[in-house]
Amino acid sequence: MGVMIQSSGNFQKMVGLYENPLLEYWQDKYAKAYKNSLIPELFDEVQSDNATEAISELVGAVDFKEWNGEFSYGDIKDSPNAKVWTPLVWQAGIQYDRFTLSNAKLVNLKNEHGMFALGAARTRNACAGGIFTYADQTSFTVNGVPLNWTLTSNGLPLASNSQTSANYSTTQDNLETLELNEENLETVCQKMFDTKDESGKESQLNPDTLIVPTALRKRALEIVGSTGKSDTADNNVNVYDGNLKVIVWDQFRKQAGKTGQPWCVMDGMAAKESLKWVNRLESGDDYEVISWKTEAEQKWSIGSIMWYSAGAYDFRPFQFSFPA
């Protein structure tokens, strides 16, 4: 995580009167707001200078067989199933006239810049959370901007009852409407064990992570963390204790119009390989902060730009449940 700061000499001369320059405060505020973000944990963060990035499913298979004196070659080629990431430019700005800035108090300026920094962090987190909250939808909206970042390489939402594959004719299902309890958790885990890869072979995925919204925090920790089975007199060993990681995510939320709380089981390593966060800023920083002065109008301006896209190319490492 980083921030690029470019500032005019006039602006720094004005704010430099204060012991803690505002742009530095902005950077510090953003870092604190972003420290609990799950983007670094869930997403593979990729730096790119390309207008778009893409991953396609490969048609064909690599099969290891007995050595007979030479290599045997499979026919591998690209398929029409491809996930494309096109980074979107996000922007926000604040403008002061000279007299407002001259009369402004440090506390006021810090508060305004703090809201600016929080806005940058919250926008990124909302984009990440929307991919999970609306995993069964074709798109979602952040700050009025429609995003189709829930679509995977097969053109379907990340969670669907009819997932298709490049070289496997049978559709697969990674979407349920079950409430979170121990029995339903096992049902969903078994579905992941049975998942096939793009060529119809065993995917060998391991459901090792349970992601829940804050409303399911207590329930999830009881199911996974109890030494015996929860809510029952049957004190058999809890098979999830030590085998399933619980992530409580405040950005994973119940969709409007639904009464049940969503939850997701995933193979953590495979999921991070599938989930990409593509940053297009040449600096490699999370966002850039630029300041300048308009002499004729005697106005000082601050602008911020973020340039990124996110989403998963493969549905297989995820099993979602969205109770009605």
DSSP string for 121-162: HHHHHHHHHHHHHTTTSS-EEETTEEE-TTB-TTSSBSS-SS
Are 314 and 274 contacting, i.e. CB atoms less than 8 angstroms apart?
A: yes
Quickly tell me which residue has 């593509």 as its tokens: 278
Cβ neighbours for 34, distance < 8 A, ≥ 6 positions apart: 1, 121, 124, 125, 286
Q: Give ∠ CA 178-184-187 in degrees, rounded to 5.
A: 110
Residue-level pLDDT at 176: 98
- pTM metric for this prediction: 0.87
| DSSP helix/strand/coil, 14 | helix
d(CA 156, CA 139): 10
Q: What is the pLDDT of residue 102?
A: 66
pLDDT tens over the chain, length 324 residues:
555 545 545 555 555 544 345 666 777 777 777 878 999 999 999 999 999 999 887 666 677 888 989 887 777 666 778 899 999 999 988 887 777 766 666 556 666 667 777 888 999 999 999 999 999 999 999 999 999 999 999 999 999 999 999 888 999 999 999 999 999 999 999 999 999 998 899 999 999 999 999 999 999 999 998 776 555 665 577 778 788 999 999 999 999 999 999 999 999 999 999 999 999 998 888 888 777 778 788 787 778 899 999 999 999 999 999 998
Q: How far apart are CA 104 and CA 95, in angstroms?
A: 13
Residue 81 maps to a domain: no
Tokens representing residue 193 in the block: 């064990």
Question: How long a stretch of residues is the chain?
Answer: 324
H or E, element range at 27: helix 22-34
Other beta carbons within 10 Å of 94: 15
170 lies in a domain?
Answer: no
Residue 305 resides in a domain: yes
Cβ contacts of residue 173 below 8 Å, gap of 6+? 160, 161, 162, 163, 191
CA distance 80 to 88: 24
State the pLDDT at residue 20.
47
Report yes or no on 228 lying in a domain.
yes
Domain of 290, in residue numbers:
3-53+86-152+177-313
In a domain, 126, yes or no: yes
Strand pairing report for 175-176 and 318-321: parallel
**DSSP structural state of residue 26:** H
Direct distance between the N- and C-terminal alpha carbons of the chain, in angstroms, rounded to an integer: 37
Assess if residue 229 is contained within a domain: yes
What one-character DSSP code corresponds to residue 280?
-
Backbone φ and ψ for 96, nearest 5 degrees, come out as -125, 145
* Count of structural domains, the chain: 1
Q: What is the pLDDT of residue 19?
A: 38
Query: Is 244 contained in some domain?
Result: yes
- The verdict on residue 71 lying in a domain is no
